Structures are given as structure tokens and as C-alpha cells.
Structure 1
Amino acid sequence: MTSTLAIVVSLAALMYLAYRGVTVLLLAPLMGALAVLLSGDAAWLLPIYTSTFMTALSGYVLQYLPIFLLGSLFGQLMADSGAANTLARWIVRSVGERHAIVTVVLACALLTYGGVSLFVVAFAIYPVAVNLFQTAGIPKRLIPATIALGAFTFTMTALPGTPAIQNAIPIPFFGTNVFAAPGLGLLASLAMFSGGIWWLRRRAAAAQARGEGYGAAEEAQAADPAEPGEDARWSLMPVPLALLPLLLVVGINALFTYVVFPGVDFSFMAERFAEVEPQKIVGLWAIIIALAAACATLVVLRLGKWSDLKATVNKGVFGFMLPLFNTASEVGYGAVIAGLAGFAIIRDAVLNVSPGNPLISEAVAMNVLAGITGSSSGGLSIALQTLGADYLRMAEQAGISPELMHRVAVMAAGGMDTLPHCGAIITLLAICKLTHRQSYGDIAAVTMLFPLPALAMVIALGTWFGSF
């Protein structure tokens, strides 16, 4: 009982201090140490740190470093080449300025589904959103929720094939790929998109009925200094070329997942890599190849037109480190917690939420841990590191497809992850120069109010009809 209470205190402290802005790189080992001390295992503190925390952290880095690195580099190349801005403005022209909310959501969705990181998308789309919302007379306070709907919801967790790290994490645990349960993912995406658009339009209409415009006069006239719209280099990127790298990410991924790797006999690996299970790793290989090819294509397409290619590459490469090590530190923390005696009680409670349907138990575990850590990737990683083998065993016993377990896990991690202490939300509000009080209510609505029912729908349909 004492050990279980220690875990609860540690988790509460982690959530509170993360909300206060303390970095997870420091919090994770400190809160893990706090849990160990309160559990009465002080003598084991240093061995647990070196052999449990650091082993789990380094294992996560070893497995996912290429995806974080290539994803960050690709996002920076898309931003600095002008491709991201070109595509955003193309969508504005195609959809029309009158549909400002739909335009911003679609622009964010296209970029994130194509492999551009959430933060790069937020920086790239914010200036476009400012212009559109000013013209349409929609309150600025709705911009963060609009960006969040396009970048933090269905394209991150539900759309089949999305290269988001959240969609890659379950692959080695379930032996799946990023296209797992495509039909269910598409239905869930449609539900999230439709519900979020309905909410935002309703909120915008209510604000306009009250006579509320974009915002203060000085804000309405203040162009974002980072907006690249006046830079001549953006006009040099034709739309087909800007779209090509995104198509390559999805297309090459699908090609290797469904055509190339299924036709390869991996028995030759047994001689030198006997411990590797190809069916549990080829999904990651496909993403790595797709992102690498897209990065190389972008560099070649813009040869001679980069303002400073070396600076772009360096910024993209350096930019992956903090997200990777933040998540890896949370994984290390989860490994420490999982090694404490009190975790057995928590594990059994979670696994027994719905003994006959592991999908429900999995959804609860992912949501709770993502909410506590304020990170979908962190919560998902902790849950699968500690409970992944149990869920796979339960799924096999219940006759549930690993692909369905994959999709439910990813969608569940994208449910409660956007509580106020979420780092992505804090960054988004900083980009938009707004506060939690001004915008968080609408962010919560589009990132939780509709994704959670969509998750319930997927669980219900998957239970009745299986994975499709």
C-alpha cells in the first residue's frame, strides 16, 4: 500500500511541476527517485537509476531516434524551402477566405499528415490564420483551437499511414504498421474533423452575433514579424513540387509496407541478428525510408535556391533532440514506476477494467498516462513499455487483431494528453500570443470532447466487426 501511495504522490508531483513549466528531463529522474524513496527502497536508488531508468531511456532512444531526427529535419526543410507556406496559401486559394476555419484546419492536416512536425506546422500556419481570421472577423482566441484540430487530433492518431511518432510507437510491441485498421481510422478521423469544425463554427457564429471581432485594434493590425509571405522565395515553389515530398512520405511508406517488405525473405538475418523479429520492425523501417527519401527530394528540388541549406539542416537535426529525450525520460520514469512493488496493484486494476475486452482497458491506461504526463507519445510509450506484452497476450486470447489494438492505443493516447500542462498546448499558446484563460476551453473541446467519443466508436465497431 505504501508503494502504491508513493507512485500516486510521484505522479501528482510530476503533473503539477510539468504544468508549472519544469522540464521533464529533470522531472522524470527526480520524480522516479521520489517514488523509490517513498516506497522505502532508498538503498536501491542508484542501481535503479543506472540499470532501470537509463536502460529504458537508452532503449527508447536507440529504437526511435531515426524517426525523430528525420521527422524534425523534414519539417525544417519543408518550412525553409517555402513548401509549407506554399501549400498553406494554395489551400487558402482553393477553399476560400470565407471558410477561414476549414481552411486553417485543412492546411494543418495536410502538413502533419505529410510528416511535418506539429510545432513547425503551428509556426507556419499561424501567420496565415491571422490574416484569414482578421478578414473573416473571427476572434483571434479561436486560432489555437483551429490549429490544434488540424494538427493535434485525427492526423496525429487516426488517419491510416500518418508518420506521426505516436503512430509508430506501437509497431514493435504489436508487430503492426502505420496503416493499422485503416477503415476504422478513417471513420474516426471523419468524426473528429466534423465535430471539431461544428464546434468552432458554432463558437465563431456566437461571437460574431455578440459583435465580437478579431480582437483589439492593435492586434488586428499587427502582422506577425515571422510571417514569410513577403519573402520572394515562397513564390518560387510551385504547388506540385511543394506537394511532392508529402506524397512521397505516404506513398513510399505504403509501397514498402505492402509491396516490398512482404516479398522479402528475412531468414538471412538469423545468422547475425537472431534477436531481431522482422515483422515487428519493418513498419519502422518503412517510415525511416520514406522520410529519408522525402528529405533528399526536398534538398534536390531546391538546389541553388536555399538561403542557407547548412543552417536549415543543422536546425532541423538539433531540433529533434529535446522532443526525443523528453519522451525517453518519461519512458525511463515509467520503467522505474513499473519496477516498484506497488505498481502490481495499479497494473492489475487497469488490466481488470474490462477483463473480457482488452480494448477498453488499453484505452483507459493510455488516456490516464497521457493525461498525467501531458504527452501522447510519453503516455503511450510508458503504457506499452509496462503493459504492452500483457495487452498483446489478452488480445490473442480474446481473438482481437493487433491492428485494432494499435489503432485504439494511438487514439487513446491522443485523448487526455491535452490537459493544461501539456507542453504542446503551452507552446501553441505562446506562438499565438494567447493565454489558457483566453483559448484553452476551445482547445479542450476539439482535442478531447470529440476524439474521446470517436475512440469509443472505434472500440465498439472493432468489438462487433473486428479490425477493418
Structure 2
Amino acid sequence: MGFLGILLGLGFLVWLAFRGWSVLLLAPAAALVAAAFAREPLLASWTQTFMGSAASFLAQFFPLFLLGALFGKLMNDSGAVTAIADFMTVRLGKDRAVLAVVLAGALVTYGGVSLFVAFFVLVPMAQALFRAADIPRRLAPAAIILGSSTFTMTALPGTPAIQNAIPMPFFGTTPFAAPGLGLIAAAIMFGVGLWWLRRAEASARRAGEGYGEGTDPALGVVIHDETVRERVTTAREFDPAEIRHGRSSPAPPPIFLAALPLVVVVSVNLLMSLVILPRLDVSFLAEERWGGVSLSAVAGVWSVVVALAAAILVLLGLHHRRIPSLRESMDAGANASVLPALSIASLVGFGAVIAALPAFAAVRDWVLTIEGGPLVSLAVATNILAALTGSASGGLTIALDALGDTYLTIASELGIDPALLHRIAVLGSGTLDILPHNGAVVSLLALCGATHRESYFDIVMVGIVSSLLALVAVIALGATFGSF
């Protein structure tokens, strides 16, 4: 009965989440369904297990949600993201429209701009370039996904994406875990994805298929869609409802000043991770009032937090006069972090209840005995949970909450570098999460005025197939040569 409860609870969560119901309601309800079938105490499961795990997730990662959403909103309202998109448009032009969209998405998301904020600028950019180059509009979502939701989210060393931060407290790693393997994975994703898009473009030209008729959808209509909002906030770290609050700069800044805050994010993150924090005396962390933790448990999150905070200060120093309503923009950025953080925390709470059920032991044992060893089983576990929840961050946290300590113990016994576990876990979370019900996919298709039937196959090729190939390569290289 306990295993049946796990299946029913998970099915209940996935089905209603796909239909646009709020995860804030669904996650505790689904957890209680599973607990009821296992004959576990319901109130204790909710208030002690569910809420305890959700609160722990917020305690660890809410600063990243807060600063990430605030940074993205200020970059948008200062005109900096638009300036970067315009620069790519001018430099590469319609003859290399696909490459321009991919590189613009990569630059802003690797620099710390929230995904939905990037969508809000990249979609009009892609539409203008693709229309001028007469490239089918159905390819625009795949180009945006490749640049913003693949190698910059899971592979590039130091990426401030929340997915790259989640394994750090579990494995004691930094945002730059396994940098060589990460760069190889990024090259595979970028190369395979760009090859597919160029192939699709060439095929469309031979068939005489142009941009397409009709008008592009109004972004303002899409961001008021509550179903889109519910799905986005489960998958990503920015609440779409807040994008319309505040006012954007009428004139974008020069490209150097626009890109400088992105450079600050990457450089400060690197300095904090590899130079500053390792030299600090933080022995006080062992005291009970500071949680009794080691530096390795908090260093990764601290690095990203300081990097984002420094970038925000630089951005305000450079562009505060360009932002028409600074207080309103900052309020909107802060507010935009709350619903995504609570939604993902609720998924984490659901996972904690499931992991605490006696029947979950059989699931854990099955995962750990998957052929190929711990690297393969870790990749499978994160893939499955990210696919079921439609959330890379939610699925990754559930997997590591339930199995992180076990994998760390196995790694210690087998001499596996925790940095390798970190990179494989992150890569695994960013493959099958891009299924049809994923919030980023649903929102992007709505913004582009495309349907799953028109555009989803190309999204699969650039987002799932390229990521799976990169994951397989990293597992093979990591098993052979270790972490590097």
C-alpha cells in the first residue's frame, strides 16, 4: 500500500500541475495522499516532515532567489538586456540570426539574468531577426532554449543558475565544480544544438517555408495568463506577474556599461570560490549558533550571493538614473522571487515526505542498483524526478535530499571526487525537465505564438538530445579519468 501511495501522490501532483493548478496546494495534498496510504500520521507528515524540509530549502537558497530575481528585473528595466540583444543583432545580423539569438541568450543567462526576464527580451529579438531573414518562426523557441536553458544552466563552470547551486551544500563543492568536464558538456550542447538549428533552417529554405503569416502575440497578454504563471514559477526563479511592474528605460545604455554587471557576476563568483573564501578563518561556523557547519557546506552559496550582490551594486551605480522608477523596479524584483521559491520549496517538501515513507527504501535500493555504477544511477535519478516534476531545481533537490548523503558515502568509498557528482547531478536535472509540461517550455511557446506541434520537436533536439549526449560524455570521461 505504501508504494501505491507514492505512485498515486506523484500522479496526482503531475496531472494537476500540468493542468495549471498551484503547486503550493498540490504538493502538500499529494504528500498527504502518499502518507495516508502508508498509514503515517498526517499532521506530523505535513507540519514536521513537509514543512521542515521546505523551510530548510528556503533557509539555504532563498537569498539566491531574491538576489537573482532582483538582478534580472534591474537589468531589464535599466535597458541593459535590450542593449545586449541589440548589440548581437547589429553585429551578427539577419544572415546569422540563429547564432545571434543563441549567443544573446547565453550571455545574459550566464551573467545571472533570470530566465523569464531573458525571454521577455529574446522573443522580440528572435521574431525581428527571423522575420528579416525569412526563417520560420517555429524555430525561434528552440533557438532561445538552446541559448538560455542548456549549457548556461547546467554545464558552464561558475554559472549562477539555482540548479548549479543546489548540489553545493550536499557535496561541499563550488559553482566551478569539474570545470573541464563542464566545458566539454557545454561544447557538445552548443555544437549539437546549433548544428540541428542550421540543418532545420536549411531544410525550411529548400522547402520554400518562410517566417509565416499572421501577427506575433502581444507579450502583455501572455504574462497575464495565470496558467502560464503557475507553470513558470514551478520551473524557474522569476514570477512573470512582476515583469509588468516598474518601468523600463526608454534608451538602453552603451554595450560596455550594459555588459559590465554580467562580468562582475562571473568574476566575483570566481574570486570568492577560489581565492577569498578558502583564505578566510571561518572556524566560528562550528559553533551551534551558526549551525555547526563547515565552510564547504556554505561556501558555494556564499560565492553566488556575494557575486549577485556586487553586480547589483555595480548596476545601480551605473544605471540608477536610467531606471524610471527605481523603488518600484526593486520591489517588483524582490516580489518576483517569492512565489518561485515557495513553489520549489513545496516540491522539496513533497519529496521529503515520500523519502520518509518505509516503501521508499525499495525505490532507493532500485536506484542504487542501476547498471553502470553510482554515476549512472545518479544521472537516472535526477532525470526521472526532474521529468516528473517538470522542474530541474525541484527534481534535483528531491533527489539529493533523499539520496545525496548515500551518494557522498559511496563516492568516499570508491574514491570519486564529489565535484564529479555535482556536475553529473546538475546535468541530469537539465535534460528531461524540458518535457511538454515544463513551465519554461509552456511560457516560451505562448510568448512566441507557437504550439507544441509546431516547435516542440526542435526543442527536444536542442534541449534534450544535446543535453543527454553531453551527460553521457561526462559520465564516460568521469568514469575513465575522474573529475577535471
Query: What range is the shorter-chain TM-score in?
Result: over 0.9
1:351 and 1:300, CA in 2 relative to 1: closer, same or farther beyond 3 A?
Answer: same
Instruction: Check if 1:276 corresponds to 2:293.
Output: yes
8 Å contact from structure 2 (residues 383, 433) kept in 1: yes
Which residues of 2 match residues 51-90 of structure 1 at below 5 A? 51-90=48-87
Kindly state the Cα deviation for residue 273 of structure 1 after the two structures are TM-superposed. Answer: 2.7
8 Å contact from structure 2 (residues 80, 252) kept in 1: no
1:89 and 1:334, CA in 2 relative to 1: closer, same or farther beyond 3 A?
Answer: same
Which residues of 2 match residues 282-431 of structure 1 at below 5 A? 282-354=299-371, 357-431=373-447
Deviation sequence 1:216-263 (CA, Å, 0-9, x none): 1x327x8877999xx994545011111110000010011111111111
Which residues of 2 match residues 158-177 of structure 1 at below 5 A? 158-177=155-174
1:224 and 1:336, CA in 2 relative to 1: closer, same or farther beyond 3 A?
Answer: closer
1:197 and 1:338, CA in 2 relative to 1: closer, same or farther beyond 3 A?
Answer: same
Which residues of 2 match residues 2-151 of structure 1 at below 5 A? 2-41=1-40, 44-151=41-148
Distance 1:305 1:450 in 2: 39
- The CA RMSD over aligned residues, in Å, is 1.8
Distance 1:444 1:87 in 2: 27
Deviation sequence 1:321-344 (CA, Å, 0-9, x none): 111111100000000000111100
Name the aligned partner's letter for residue 356 of structure 2: G
Deviation sequence 1:369-417 (CA, Å, 0-9, x none): 0000000000000000110000101111111100000000000000110
Distance 1:179 1:449 in 2: 24
Kindly state the Cα deviation for residue 12 of structure 1 after the two structures are TM-superposed. Answer: 2.1
Kindly state the Cα deviation for residue 168 of structure 1 after the two structures are TM-superposed. Answer: 0.2
Instruction: Check if 1:453 corresponds to 2:469.
Output: yes
Name the aligned partner's letter for residue 87 of structure 1: I
Distance 2:290 2:439 in 1: 38
- SS of alignment partner, residue 9 of structure 1: helix
1:275 and 1:431, CA in 2 relative to 1: closer, same or farther beyond 3 A?
Answer: same
Distance 2:39 2:284 in 1: 49
Distance 1:223 1:208 in 2: 27
Unaligned runs of 5+ in 1: none
Unaligned runs of 5+ in 2: 222-242
Name the aligned partner's letter for residue 342 of structure 1: A
1:98 and 1:223, CA in 2 relative to 1: closer, same or farther beyond 3 A?
Answer: farther
Count, aligned residues: 460
Name the aligned partner's letter for residue 266 of structure 1: V
Q: Who is 1:239 aligned against?
A: 255
8 Å contact from structure 1 (residues 171, 283) kept in 2: yes
8 Å contact from structure 1 (residues 19, 420) kept in 2: no
Distance 2:74 2:152 in 1: 20
Name the aligned partner's letter for residue 183 of structure 1: G
Name the aligned partner's letter for residue 335 of structure 2: F
Distance 2:248 2:387 in 1: 43
- Identity of counterpart residues, as a percentage? 50
Deviation sequence 1:249-283 (CA, Å, 0-9, x none): 01001111111111112223334536121111111
Q: Who is 2:280 aligned against?
A: 264
- SS of alignment partner, residue 157 of structure 2: coil
1:457 and 1:234, CA in 2 relative to 1: closer, same or farther beyond 3 A?
Answer: farther
Name whichever of 276-285 and 168-177 sits farther off: 276-285
| TM-score, L = length of structure 1 | 0.95
Name whichever of 179-188 and 302-311 sits farther off: 302-311
Kindly state the Cα deviation for residue 210 of structure 1 after the two structures are TM-superposed. Answer: 1.5
Q: Who is 2:215 aligned against?
A: 219
